[in-house]
Amino acid sequence: MHGSPHPSAGRLATPPVRGLDDLGRTRVMGVLNVTPDSFSDGGTFARPADAVRAGRAMLAAGADVIDVGGESTRPGAGRVHEAEEHARVVPVVTELVAAGGVVSVDTTRASVAAAALDAGAALVNDVSGGARPELLALVAERGVPYVLMHARGPSADMTSRAVYTDVVAEVVTELRGRLDAVLAAGIDLGSVIVDPGIGFAKNAAHNWTLLAHLDALAVLERPLLVGTSRKTFLGRLLAGPDGTPRPVDDREDATQATTALAAAAGVWGVRVHAVRPAADAVRVARAWTTGEAWKEPTT
């Protein structure tokens, strides 16, 4: 375990991201899974029309970014055909951009990312950990903001890779190595956002240790995106007397506790399923840490 005696003593510095406005607070990224099998909302928005309605509702609730994904990344999930992922994602991106939303595409495929960017997406969220050279080349060519998430291989076998001696040090080292590869591919450092990959090749203890030491990732000198929403480690923390983990649908309060704490720590963004309570938590955290009430600027 990491040995810092004061895990979150100071707020993270949040450098600007090239291509995105500075909001003066933590961003709220709404998760929109256009899939039948995602762990939390799988099947809920499987039809593009349903996903578009849900995305519009997220925008109305205060989402700063909508992260559209057409392939589940839950532990054990298999791949979907490229054409199927494309068909799920692109119509939804098109409609949400037309509605005025800032849209991120959650994919590991260059072809899907390219189609989403052509449809107006502003951001690529790469859950492969920068493992796909063709995706890196596309991001470099387009010059768009890019999320580099810590991962150790595909979802199908990520659980077996959750082995660490010092999870904080190893995640930082591995992210630094992937960041070097991202820069070598021609992506501008100012466009990169880093995600520690909570739940990706990590068990509950690893997740909690990383969250307690988010400040250790400051050495990467990039803004942080953190996604804890409804994940299994929250269900295990809240397990009943018989040890049964809290079901996915009953993890929202715990999710928003982590949202507020992450925002108070100064992360660039939080990735959540329920947007309105997260937007509230972000605003409370900002007021708490600055000592002043603050409202969104009017346009």
Q: What is the C-alpha to C-alpha distance for residues 182 and 140, in angstroms, rounded to an integer? A: 9
Q: What is the C-alpha to C-alpha distance for residues 15 and 257, in angstroms, rounded to an integer? A: 24
Cβ 34 vs Cβ 77: under 8 Å: no
Question: The tokens of 156 are what?
Answer: 């199908």
Q: 88, 178, 251, 271: which is the annotated catalytic residue?
A: 271
Pairing, β 192-195 against β 65-69: unpaired
Question: The tokens of 283 are what?
Answer: 């605003």
Q: Which residue has the tokens 């501008």?
A: 188
Q: What is the C-alpha to C-alpha distance for residues 217 and 173, in angstroms, rounded to an integer? A: 10
CA atoms lying within 13 Å on the CB side of residue 21: 7
Q: What is the C-alpha to C-alpha distance for residues 133 and 109, in angstroms, rounded to an integer? A: 10
CA-wise closest residue to 265 among 276, 273, 257 = 257
Q: 27, 109, 152, 231: which is the annotated catalytic residue?
A: 231
Instruction: Decide if 231 is catalytic.
Output: yes
Q: What is the C-alpha to C-alpha distance for residues 297 and 95, in angstroms, rounded to an integer? A: 25
Instruction: Decide if 271 is catalytic.
Output: yes
Q: Residue 274 forms beta bridges with which residues?
A: none
Determine what percent of the chain falls in helix, strand and coil, rounding each to the nearest 5: 45, 10, 45
Active site residues: 231, 271
